[in-house]
Amino acid sequence: MQLLTTIATGVLAASLVSAKPAENPGTSSQQIADCLGKKDVPVYWPNSPNFTELAEPFNLRLSYTPYVIVLPETIQHVQDAVLCAAECGIKVQAKSGGHSYASFSSGGKDGSMMIDLQPMQGIELDPATNIVKVGGGVRLGNLAQGVWDQGKRGISHGTCPGVGIGGHFTHGGYGHTSRNWGLALDHIVALDVVLADGSVVHASEVENFKLYWAMRGAAESFGVVCNFYLRTQEAPASVTYFSFQWGDALFKDKQAFTDVFMHIQDFSTNASVVDNRISYGIYLDGIAAYNLGGTFFGSPEEFNSTIMPELLRSIPAPGKIIVQAYEWIPYLKLMSDRDAIEEPLTGYDEHDTFFAKSITVPESEGLARSTLDAFYDYISTPAPTEYFVIINLYGGPGSAINMKDTDFAAYADRDSLWVFQNYGHGDTIREQGSIDFVNGINEAIIEAQPDTHFGAYLNYVDPSYDAETAHELYYGEALYAKLDELKAKYDPKHIFWNPQSIGN
């Protein structure tokens, strides 16, 4: 892992060439080229070799062409790039891993400056404090492997090793350790941030607290995070993975489908059985798979004797049951469905074509039987696209996710029991009928429970929402008003912009 503790610049620097910028209405091409050139900022223009590869988004359904791509090797490069963009009237967005569901890391439109943090790959664990300093371009798999190699430590985050730290950590960041350790966002103790005026500040609980608060929930609207400082956990010697698989059995009987979920929901709020050591989600595709799987911070023997009997009480038996202990790194590999969790420092090339939505379900209400019946009816109809639904448990007894509030950070989702991800993918998702089908999953649930205030999850950002709708769903009126006020202070000219950014 030595490469991960240094700044990986050699391959990138060697590939930079002199090229001409594209035309941008209202912007002098020579002006921006001169500004960046005088400051020796490493850049790629649209006619540079490798520009197309660097610009390619994770979601191939939403492809935008940046005006210029900056590959900063130092924080000074980020500062200079932001100042040049501001001087020339170009909007800026940072790219950490590039997995934005809406391609907002590409700007969310053609003609933005993309600051690709790929060269910033430092991972340095302080053995005295167990705080790890992490560069803004680090991907989750490399982060997990790095903190393990340097100190047998762990951090709560998602399972996909190719996701970048930037958007994931600043927009929540759920994983199967989150009910026990908190969200990824909750591990941030400080940030090194480049602001719209080109200055760099250290933001923490004791320095620049208002900025620190805003960045944890809305970072893309306030600055570029060059370094994260994260608290780490002692990684457990082992955890228990469990999976209950019903196959297609529950799709053949609406009453069984609803009965099973209602029982799981009751189980999830039963404090005599459930505490923060357990986490799980339901995966279904409406055709062949209905699985409940998760993680227990305890032994298989304890799980089998105290948890599984109550979880399966009075419902149809799954066709397959797996309960198995895993050491920490093998567990992370299992959850990522990979033989290794390390990702290449350059040349990442994984993509999908998809449209996704989310629903956050308030813990105070949960889902009604009639809502689950409506959900079943909808997904029982033939779908014009491949899709899946993941329903993750956020709340329940002892959940570390819901122990904090919006005084802690500008992140509103602290009262959900369930969070849905409704994900349609494949070539047909480019067609309106397939997009309408995915929208219909949300509508079936929301319309069946009209008195419930459902929200949406920031890391499953939905490009179909206008800015006002997105702000209400992701933040709510009171929290958004505070962010809007801070936007006017830190970025009055809206240098950091995407279609749903604060103040848009």
Q: Do residues 150 and 216 share a domain?
A: yes
Q: Do residues 362 and 458 share a domain?
A: yes
- Determine, yes or no, domain membership for 291: yes
Q: Do residues 295 and 371 share a domain?
A: yes
Q: Do residues 230 and 302 share a domain?
A: no
Report yes or no on whether pTM surpasses 0.75: yes
- Determine, yes or no, domain membership for 501: no
Q: Do residues 383 and 250 share a domain?
A: yes
- Determine, yes or no, domain membership for 484: no
Write down the pLDDT at residue 7.
Answer: 32
Supply the DSSP symbol for 62: S
Pick from 34, 112, 100: nearest CA to 69: 112
Q: Do residues 211 and 281 share a domain?
A: no
Instruction: Using the 3D structure, point to which of 55, 87, 116 is the last residue of a domain.
Output: 116
- Determine, yes or no, domain membership for 428: yes
- For residue 160, give both structure tokens: 């996909």
- Kindly give the confidence (pLDDT) of every residue in the chain, 504 residues in length, as a single tens digit, with 9 standing for 90 and above: 433 333 333 333 333 434 555 555 555 689 999 999 999 999 999 999 999 999 999 999 999 999 999 999 999 999 999 999 999 999 999 999 999 999 999 999 999 999 999 999 999 999 999 999 999 999 999 999 999 999 999 999 999 999 999 999 999 999 999 999 999 999 999 999 999 999 999 999 999 999 999 999 999 999 999 999 999 999 999 999 999 999 999 999 999 999 999 999 999 999 999 999 999 999 999 889 999 999 999 999 999 999 999 999 999 999 999 999 999 999 999 999 999 999 999 999 999 999 999 999 999 999 999 999 999 999 999 999 999 999 999 999 999 999 999 999 999 999 999 999 999 999 999 999 999 999 999 999 999 999 999 999 999 999 999 999 999 999 999 999 999 999 999 999 999 999 999 999
Write down the pLDDT at residue 9.
Answer: 35
User: Is residue 424 a contact partner of residue 435, using CB atoms and an 8 Å limit?
Assistant: yes
User: Is residue 214 a contact partner of residue 480, using CB atoms and an 8 Å limit?
Assistant: no
Q: Do residues 127 and 112 share a domain?
A: no
Total domains, the chain? 3
Q: Do residues 38 and 108 share a domain?
A: yes
Q: Do residues 159 and 305 share a domain?
A: no
User: Is residue 175 a contact partner of residue 140, using CB atoms and an 8 Å limit?
Assistant: no
Cβ neighbours of residue 289 under 8 Å, at least 6 residues apart? 245, 247, 248, 283, 388
Do the strands 113-116 and 68-70 form a parallel or antiparallel pair, or are they unpaired?
parallel
Radius of gyration of the chain, Cα coordinates, nearest whole angstrom: 23
- Determine, yes or no, domain membership for 346: no
Helix (H), strand (E) at residue 73: none
Residue 283's domain spans which residues?
Answer: 238-326+353-462
Cβ neighbours of residue 112 under 8 Å, at least 6 residues apart? 64, 66, 67, 90, 91, 92, 93, 106, 497
Q: Do residues 177 and 253 share a domain?
A: no
Instruction: Using the 3D structure, point to which of 116, 146, 170 is the last residue of a domain.
Output: 116
CATH number of the domain residue 206 falls in: 3.30.465.10
CATH number of the domain residue 298 falls in: 3.40.462.20
Write down the pLDDT at residue 22.
Answer: 52
Q: Do residues 204 and 265 share a domain?
A: no
- Cβ–Cβ contacts within 10 Å for residue 403, how many? 12
CATH number of the domain residue 8 falls in: 3.30.43.10
Secondary structure string (H, E, C) spanning 390-452: EEEECCCCCCCHHHCCCCCCCCCCCCEEEEEEEEEECHHHHCHHHHHHHHHHHHHHHHHCCCC
